[in-house]
Amino acid sequence: MCGISGVVSFHPIDDRLYEGVHHLEYRGYDSCGVAFLENRHIEIRKDIGTVDEVDTKRNLRHLAAHVGIAHTRWATHGKVTRENAHPHTSCGCEFAVVHNGIIANYKELREELKKKGHKFGSETDTEIIAHLIEEHFVRCGDVERAWVGALRQLQGSFALAMISPHEPEHIFCARHESPLIIGVGAESNYVGSDFNAFIDYTKNTVILDDGEYGVVSKDSYSVKSLRSGDVIDKAVTVIPWDSELSRKGGYPHYMLKEIHEQPQAVRTALNIASDDIATVADMVMAAKRTYLLGVGTTYYVALYGQYILATLADLDVSSVSSDEFRYIDKTDASSLVLAVSQSGETYDTVMSLRHAKERGAKTAAVVNVVGSSIARMVDHVILQGSGPEVCVVSTKAALVQMLLLTRLALEIGVRRKVIKPAKHREYEAALTALPGEIETLLNEQSGIIRAAAYRHAHIQNWLFLGRGIYYPIALEAALKMKEVTYIHAEGMPGGFLKHGTLSLVDDKLYTLVMAPPPSCGELHAMTMSSVEEVKARGGFVFGFSYDEKDDIFSERVALAPTHELISPFLPLVGAQLLAYFTATALKRNVDKPRSLAKSVTVA
């Protein structure tokens, strides 16, 4: 949801702003730009397009300046035009601002500023901030006071960075409900939406909290409260990831790399201390009601969590999409809200947690990004340690989240005496086998799935069916297909089909079915009856299936026999590959699908 990068340095910026926004492009990529100080003037270079396209047109590299800010945009207010691209400046071009978030009261502020004679060059909410700072500066003559005065007038969410020739050695930055961090380097300091903005240069970061602003110079920084102006002593967090991990490492796309990282990500998650899982289990056991929250993929992870807790722990929890939670939130001090988020910054999930906390609920989360808002705001966080997920489309993070909810369900199942010790040992062994089984699937089935994807890439409509715990898997698989291929794919429970959607089935609509192993008994039989229903209407059914006797599929990807507990994970990996290869067949922008952003930090 827009990426911010900034550098202030003893040395020329050179390519560092370009690299910063390049590494943040997964947050938004419809336009981008830089502002830097040259001979005490602000120079702006911006345009529509990706960072590389704008670099070709405007040259964002080899900058001799020592102070600069940059932005890659995901449009919210105003169309994708050069005028609406950031940075934005004040009338006299004395303040340049980049922004992530939404200013709720921008219309009122814009009208007031217009009356005072300010002229606007864009349709954005961001531009008013530059003019507001200018307005305050005219009165007080001090950049920091003008900055603070302007910020205090803003309502809504913002992460901001600003430069001005009146303070040529500084970057001003601030955060309220949108992430912003400072990178503490040697002879250079940085600002960024996240550490990808500067991970090549430093792993030391200072994470701003809501209501804080920073003043960053070449060799120092200070963080202050926006309300009181008091200096805040902030800890330096060392990012545990290497910049190499954020690179493609020989794969054509991050999505394929991240699919292939799943065995390792699962191993890491299996090594997360049992105490960490036990703490959340304590919280679930103590709560009268547990809500599992996520949105998009993480909602499907939460739904998976609902099924696995019911299955293994005989426990009834509610999974709710974070964007809807506010409408049904009945939490109180006896409730637990357990959120799932890769980025830890998703606005709807952050807001739902905040709301639940205000009502006295306990909170916990499974999060991938260390130091993210959600990781810091909850009572207990399980950091999943899956490493950076750069592709906008979530794969390894989601699969690991499902695995961690399975571990949680096992822990609670044992405590509630639903799972006997021998069964528990069997389940543990199944989980330990999962990384190897994913590896086998990737090695042995990728070619088959790729060929199928290329064969069927012309199909415009898909139904993805699953029953029981395969239902959230089918939903997640359909979302992968939609996101990365732009093909319509609708996930639903197998039993739901005959209540309406069956009317769509013809030879042009393809159906994908996730079939459980035959050891699942009735679930397997019922799933196969859905296959029959579609076939009887002349539909083509593509199946991920464990049983060679499942011979009614029009086309079948054979999965190696496995334990029931981990059986939903393997068709999920298969479906990730199907979506990926269909996207490459259609020459889609795999890592940055149109209209999407990795981290949705606005309402």
Out of 24, 295, 315, 583, the residue judged to bind ligand M6R by CB under 6 A? 295
Nearest distance from residue 578's CB to ligand M6R, in Å? 15
CB atoms within 10 A of CB 152: 11
Say whether 32 is catalytic: no
Q: Which is nearer to ligand M6R, 179 or 539 (CB)?
A: 179
Strands (E) across 197-334 are located at: 204-207, 212-216, 221-225, 237-238, 289-294, 318-321
Which residues are CB-neighbours of 83 under 8 A, at least 6 positions away?
121, 122, 123
Q: Which is nearer to ligand M6R, 189 or 298 (CB)?
A: 298
* 599 is a site residue for ligand M6R (CB under 6 A): yes
Nearest distance from residue 413's CB to ligand M6R, in Å? 26
Choose the binding region for ligand M6R from 154-162, 232-240, 296-304, 420-428 (rule: CB under 6 A): 296-304
- Site track 324-343 with ligand M6R (rule: CB under 6 A), x = hit: -----------------xxx
In our burial notation (b when 16+ CB lie closer than 10 A, e otherwise), range 325-337 reads beeebebeeebbb
* 297 is a site residue for ligand M6R (CB under 6 A): yes
Out of 100, 298, 485, 584, the residue judged to bind ligand M6R by CB under 6 A? 298
Which of these, 85, 83, 84, 98, lies nearest to 36 by C-alpha position?
Answer: 98
Say whether 91 is catalytic: no
**Tokens standing for residue 347:** 């606005």
Nearest distance from residue 340's CB to ligand M6R, in Å? 7
Q: Which is nearer to ligand M6R, 204 or 352 (CB)?
A: 352
- Cis peptide preceding 571, ω within 30 of 0: no
What residue is closest to ligand M6R based on CB? 296
2, 173, 391, 520: which is the annotated catalytic residue? 2
Choose the binding region for ligand M6R from 10-18, 68-76, 269-277, 386-394 (rule: CB under 6 A): 386-394
Whole-angstrom CA distances from 434 to 91, 216, 578 are 60, 46, 20
Which residues are CB-neighbours of 337 under 8 A, at least 6 positions away?
290, 291, 293, 331, 352, 353, 356, 361, 362, 363, 364
* Distance (Å, whole) CA 204 – CA 352: 30
Judged by CB under 6 A, the chain residues 471 through 490 that form the site for ligand M6R are 483
- Site track 389-408 with ligand M6R (rule: CB under 6 A), x = hit: ---xxx--------------
* 364 is a site residue for ligand M6R (CB under 6 A): no
* Distance (Å, whole) CA 488 – CA 490: 7
**Tokens standing for residue 427:** 């389940």
Nearest distance from residue 353's CB to ligand M6R, in Å? 11
* Distance (Å, whole) CA 97 – CA 81: 17
Choose the binding region for ligand M6R from 211-219, 432-440, 517-525, 595-603 (rule: CB under 6 A): 595-603
* 346 is a site residue for ligand M6R (CB under 6 A): yes
Q: Which is nearer to ligand M6R, 349 or 511 (CB)?
A: 349
218, 362, 482, 598: which is the annotated catalytic residue? 598
Nearest distance from residue 301's CB to ligand M6R, in Å? 8
Nearest distance from residue 296's CB to ligand M6R, in Å? 2
Strands (E) across 10-147 are located at: 31-38, 41-48, 67-73, 88-89, 96-103
Burial of 429: CB neighbours in 10 Å, binned 0-12, 13-18, 19+: exposed
* 208 is a site residue for ligand M6R (CB under 6 A): no
Choose the binding region for ligand M6R from 200-208, 236-244, 293-301, 427-435 (rule: CB under 6 A): 293-301
Strand order across the 555-558 sheet: 488-493, 461-466, 509-514, 540-545, 555-558
Residues touching ligand M6R: how many (CB under 6 A)?
16
Nearest distance from residue 598's CB to ligand M6R, in Å? 7
Q: Which residues pair with 555 in a beta bridge?
A: 542
Whose tokens are 């105003």? That residue is: 78
- Stated as kind and residue range, the H or E segment containing 363 is strand 362-367
Helix 106-115 and helix 127-140, axial crossing angle in degrees, nearest 10: 50
Please work out, in degrees rounded to the nearest 5, the angle formed at the alpha carbon of residue 533 by the alpha carbons of 531 and 535: 70
Q: Which is nearer to ligand M6R, 412 or 474 (CB)?
A: 474
DSSP single-letter state for residue 200: T
Nearest distance from residue 349's CB to ligand M6R, in Å? 5
Q: Which is nearer to ligand M6R, 84 or 349 (CB)?
A: 349
* 319 is a site residue for ligand M6R (CB under 6 A): no
Q: Which is nearer to ligand M6R, 201 or 462 (CB)?
A: 462
Q: Which is nearer to ligand M6R, 60 or 295 (CB)?
A: 295
Q: Which is nearer to ligand M6R, 89 or 343 (CB)?
A: 343
Which of these, 14, 38, 122, 118, lies nearest to 76 by C-alpha position?
Answer: 122
Under the rule (CB under 6 A), what is the footprint of ligand M6R? 295-298, 341-343, 346, 349, 392-394, 483, 596, 599-600
Just list the catalytic residues: 2, 598
